[in-house]
Chain A
Amino acid sequence: KNEVEQSPQNLTAQEGEFITINCSYSVGISALHWLQQHPGGGIVSLFMLSSGKKKHGRLIATINIQEKHSSLHITASHPRDSAVYICAVLSLQGAQKLVFGQGTRLTINP
């Protein structure tokens, strides 16, 4: 079992829909990242969380440390949001190394 599990692995939705991507992890962490990667592109960091909730534009990320769970929400989704979204954690034992989930491939149709 991976230390970081994301669901769903693939998600297709219509423009305007509210999107939720989930991430569960099994290790103690100091921080959790949500990353975005467009097809063939590099990685962009969306959020880094260690508690609570963060919002940036239409994106919202939450984390529940006790339940070892985080969610990424996209409101009013748009085709340009189509990308792979990756959850990655900085484990307490990890010596500055990220542990990655397998990613969620999001497709927003117009």
Chain B
Amino acid sequence: DAMVIQNPRYQVTQFGKPVTLSCSQTLNHNVMYWYQQKSSQAPKLLFHYYDKDFNNEADTPDNFQSRRPNTSFCFLDIRSPGLGDAAMYLCATKDRNLRSEQYFGPGTRLTVT
């Protein structure tokens, strides 16, 4: 059974057209993460939520925003996608326990035309 679900799996958007990626989880985990992964690179953390507390990475562009309306759902909003934002976007979740495992979703591959 899928535990971390990302929709859509593939998203094509136009340059400058806002896009929203979604992530949902059935694990009731406190922590949710959004990563950006470009080709042949390690995932880069954009931000994470600890419950409702939002934690932005210092180098995450303002173009990227996130919402977490409840425990189960988290959204990544890209306000004005540029060609450089084409990447795989990965959502992950984790229990509050420091030693608990991080569970990754299947990712959404974003193409910007």
Chain A contacts to B: CB under 8 angstroms: 30-31, 33, 35, 40-45, 48, 50, 86, 90, 95-98, 100-103
Contact = CB atoms under 8 A, between A and B. Distances in A.
Interface residues of B, number: 24
Dominant SS among interface residues on chain B: strand
Contacts of B31: 96
B102 interface: yes
B94 interface: yes
B105 interface: yes
B104 A42 contact: yes
Nearest to B94: A96
Sorted from nearest, which 7 A-B pairs have the closest CB atoms?
A42-B106, A100-B42, A42-B107, A43-B104, A48-B101, A30-B98, A31-B99
Chain A CB within 10 Å, residue with most, of B42, B88, B103: B42
A102 B109 contact: no
10 contacts: A31-B98, A31-B99, A31-B101, A42-B105, A43-B104, A48-B101, A86-B42, A96-B50, A98-B102, A100-B43
B101 A45 contact: yes
A96 B42 contact: no
